[in-house]
Structure 1
Amino acid sequence: MARQIISALTGIALFTAALPAIAQPSSAPATLNSQLTGDLVPTHDPVIAREGDIYHVFSTGHGKRLIETRSSPDLIRWTAGDPIFTALPDWAKQAIPGSDGMWAPDISYVNGRYRLYYSVSTFGSNRSAIGLATSPTLDPKAKNYGWRDEGLVVLSTKDDDYNAIDPNFIIDRDGRHWLTLGSFWTGIKLFELDPKTGKPKDPQAKPFSIARRPAPAGGPAPVEAPFIVDHGGYYWLMVSYDYCCKGVNSSYYTVMGRSKAITGPYLGKDGSPLMEGGGTIFLRADLQEQQRFRGPGHAGWLHDKDGKDYVVYHAYDKQANGAPTLRIAPVRWGADGWPQADY
């Protein structure tokens, strides 16, 4: 019986081998996001930088982990590190009573030191502050590593029409230093900075308004998390629309507009002004049931040493109870001059 079974199987194998090959559908190439491993959660409001051969991500932190840190040798394998601070600076405790976190950091390298801008606030309030910390290196193992708090940069109160959170620093093509910020209220603002201090050049000067969503009757129209990129003769402004922080019910998405001047006006591909809630969708919100990662937003940017561009952001993972998760996507610049994220 065994010989008969073996003989039959052999015959089937020979018959199968004689059949013409059937082409198998090719699988789509893996995205960078599909390859990310390691300590990806919790990551909220991320920014990214590269020092030497190591990539560093900084994100919102609470309690005794004030500004979460992660590092990677290849953009794929991520390892959590120690927080930047374990307690709020005294000035922040006094300025913003009740706060227990440092939110939405921004990282850049200026005049031989890394500048890390951060937010201190309480949820839903515009009694908020942006602070600044600096370090000569991002490498915790380096002898000269160490973050020095430089104090208050911008403060907002209930008497202001903006909210001093979500900072982003940029040097324009004329060498002027700027900080954009904002969340809800009357939208996104832009302050000119003193290049030496990293703080407002004229504390009494009124900031520029560069993005706003006019509120419909009966409710707000959220806009926040600005980030400005200099590319191809334009300044590109990314902002997040709608709501974060609701887990899988988050409706966050990211839009983009461009301007020849850093102060605006920023327009979407169709000419819609960001000052009127316009812009072109860059990272979309998809709340369909099959979509695993919800509410992609609070985007940061990396122009890598090899010339490639990446967008870093968070999204809420449906398969992990809506945990805010690190996401990174390469960016391609299309023939029309507009960017597209491969996410």
Structure 2
Amino acid sequence: MRKKLLLSLLSIFVISSLFISCKDGETLPSSSNNVEVSKTYSYPFTGLETTEDPSNNTPFMAVVENSKQARPQSGLSFADIVYETSAEGGIPRFIAVYHSKMSEKIGPIRSIRPYFLTISKEYTLPIAHCGGSKEALNEVKNDTALMSLNEMSNGKYYYRDNSRKAPHNLYTSSDKILKAISDKQYNLSTKTPLKFNKDYFNNDNFKTSDNITVTPNKVYETTYKYKDGVYTKYMDGEVAKDAVTDKDLTFSNVIVQKTDITLQTDNSHLNIDLVKDGEGYLFSQGKVIEIKWSKDSEFSSTKLYDLENNEIFLSPGNTIWNIVDSDSKITF
């Protein structure tokens, strides 16, 4: 009897020791692993994955000058999408879409045109600019849906860089424009028409191209050279740089959209028809496909299709979108 009692006490001691060891920091084996998985999102204008909720970022657009006196521009490498098309005299101008990244300096900011407004309507975004053509400013005045951040009436959100001469020295920043949007209490319901798929260009039937030259007119030419997964932009024979980073301007996707560009009756300002159907090219991952595009109305999205009328995908990353006349020279 005493032997049985001794064995029982010994068993209790062993079990108690194991329990105390666990309390001192050792863990018992678990039947399940409670591993917390971070939620992932995609930025709507680049398709790049992120662990941060993109809805916390406020998107906007900015009109950026591209005359030779404006180069190098500031902040274009931080834009998700950069549109490029012509203004008076064939001089190009950029319309940049900002969302996933912030830039401490954006510009030089220049004036708006009606076809820039058409692009802003496509995304329903505020647009930073300084003045504009009479036609464009009348449209801003009469259309309350347009979110114009005109420097001429919103000067506190812009500044002059005295290291450059006017009118090539007007700048802003992401912080300043976001403050303007907050102050004006704009209600944004952003549209995101682009689609992304990193595997879309893994297609041996697509043609290859690593050197693209777009010549919109007699006064300007831009080239894109593909290397290491991105296209480096050149303007008039010189590599394009961002003055903020002092690095080359590169893009994951290059779109060329061909349309009708005509002179207005003043023989100066342009009409660029963006509400119609047309043709073009998409370059990505060193490959090229011929595309068709379609836009039904001022506020509708521009849809991109292959020649079999299937919607196409962009590679995740930033995009340069060239809008040129149908007769422009494009080589690749």
TM range (shorter): under 0.3
**Structure number with higher helix proportion:** 2
Larger radius of gyration: 2
**Structure number with higher strand proportion:** 1
Q: TM-score, normalised on structure 2? A: 0.22
Q: TM-score, normalised on structure 1? A: 0.22
